[in-house]
Amino acid sequence: MMTNPSMFDVKDIRKNIPIRRGLFSRQVGTWDILNGITFSLNKGEIMGCVGESGSGKSVLLDCLLRMTSLSSGEVSYSGRNLWSMNQDELRGFRRDVQLIFQDPVGSLHPRMTIEQILSEPLAINAIGTPHERKERAAELLQLVGLDASMAGRYPHQFSGGQRQRIGIARALAMNPQVILADEPVSALDVSLAAQVLNLFLDLQEQFDLTYFIIAHDMAVLRQLCTKLAVIYAGRFVETGLNQEIYNSPQHPYTRALLQSSPSMARSLDTRQQFEVPRGESPDSARLPAGCPFHPRCDFARDVCAVELPPQKRISDTHAVLCHVFPEAG
């Protein structure tokens, strides 16, 4: 039996930032941004992470990219702890793992031509001669469906959808293994977003890529991902395969997300109501005791306000962090 090799192994990572006030920077509290996240990402998987702003999902990406330190826990890539890599391993890591940004405007340097932007990764890592890099830039443009003649233009001369493609092209420059994406289509128009989503799937097939995508739109992740994690207040409250999460969601927050996502189909069904979860997003400086979701949960019991819920396994691939669900019996 051959399982896919693990690309990322994340073990119980936490990130807590002290809040300091006053002349002497006294610590008055902590921002508990990540509170124990564990998962692995295997080759060929498309993993999605859904949550709202403040849930910690962006910080999670930064941790995977080694852009921010961990308060505790470990992130390993190909078996090596990110923070104990030597120079060579680190360089290899930087070639293997790339990032696609949400904002196509801010992620491309306004004063560099597309060709320069696309050959930067190669130049930084001293790959190829300048001529070879130029050719590679042209090749990358064609890969994402843009004309190679555009290499001499500046980012502002392109539309949002095209800029996002350039961002994708840049991520592909060094033949990465893993691509992390931060809300890759939320800033795009409907038809352009659809093109980019299809492009993601095409590239995945073509290059056997592994993805980790964070988003707030559950429909997008349904389309793309093989497995998902729902993040709330810095924890994965539910993880599972695509069909497990969408067909039999267990955690009340997962269900709240699904219910509050606007849907064309549901709008036609007069039997269903547009469900509205109550309450506000959690403040990571002031997380409630016990389960962080309990103040907003319709199913909360006494124990939920006191104790952190345990992780319950529903299947090999489906887990949920809840006292109440799945219901026994």
Residues from 67 through 106 that contact other proteins (CB under 8 A): 67, 90-91, 94-95, 97-99, 101, 103, 106
Helices and strands of the chain, counted as H and E runs: 10, 12
Only one of the segments 4-12, 23-31, 70-78, 274-282 lies at the binding site for other proteins (rule: CB under 8 A); that segment is 274-282
Candidates 31, 47, 70, 107: give the one binding other proteins (CB under 8 A).
107
Q: DSSP readout, 27-87? A: EEEEEEEEEEEEEEEETT-EEEEE--TTSSHHHHHHHHTTSS--SEEEEEETTEEGGG--H
The CA distances from residue 212 to 7, 28, 76, 152, 189, in Å, are 11, 35, 15, 31, 22
Packing angle, helices 160-172 and 130-143, rounded to 10: 130
CB-nearer residue toward other proteins: 1 or 273: 273
Cβ of residue 216: shortest distance to other proteins, in angstroms? 6
Give the span between the Cα atoms of 216 and 200, in whole angstroms: 17
The residue count for the chain: 329
CB-nearer residue toward other proteins: 218 or 322: 218
Does 262 contact other proteins by CB under 8 A?
yes
Footprint (CB under 8 A) of other proteins, residues 2-31: none
Give the span between the Cα atoms of 229 and 226, in whole angstroms: 11
Footprint (CB under 8 A) of other proteins, residues 230-259: 242, 246, 256-259
Does 288 contact other proteins by CB under 8 A?
no
Assigned token pair, 123: 């130049």
Strand residue runs (E) in 58-170: 72-77, 80-81, 97-100
Only one of the segments 20-28, 32-40, 215-223, 298-306 lies at the binding site for other proteins (rule: CB under 8 A); that segment is 215-223
Footprint (CB under 8 A) of other proteins, residues 168-187: 170, 174
Does 140 contact other proteins by CB under 8 A?
no
Footprint (CB under 8 A) of other proteins, residues 143-172: 143-147, 150, 153-162, 170
Candidates 25, 248, 267, 317: give the one binding other proteins (CB under 8 A).
267
Candidates 217, 288, 299, 326: give the one binding other proteins (CB under 8 A).
217
CB-nearer residue toward other proteins: 110 or 310: 110
The CA distances from residue 93 to 80, 291, 304, in Å, are 10, 36, 41
Going residue by residue from 28 to 67, which x/- string records binding to other proteins, judged by CB under 8 A?
------------------------xx-----------x-x
Q: Is the peptide bond before 326 cis (omega within 30 degrees of 0)?
A: yes
Does 206 contact other proteins by CB under 8 A?
yes
Cβ of residue 329: shortest distance to other proteins, in angstroms? 29
CB-nearer residue toward other proteins: 4 or 72: 4
DSSP code, position 163: H
Give the span between the Cα atoms of 189 and 287, in whole angstroms: 36
Assigned token pair, 26: 């006294």
Residues that bind other proteins (rule: CB under 8 A) add up to a total of 91
Give the span between the Cα atoms of 8 and 231, in whole angstroms: 18
Candidates 1, 2, 23, 276: give the one binding other proteins (CB under 8 A).
276
Footprint (CB under 8 A) of other proteins, residues 297-316: none
CB-nearer residue toward other proteins: 109 or 313: 109
CB-nearer residue toward other proteins: 108 or 321: 108
Assigned token pair, 164: 């996002």
Cβ of residue 195: shortest distance to other proteins, in angstroms? 5
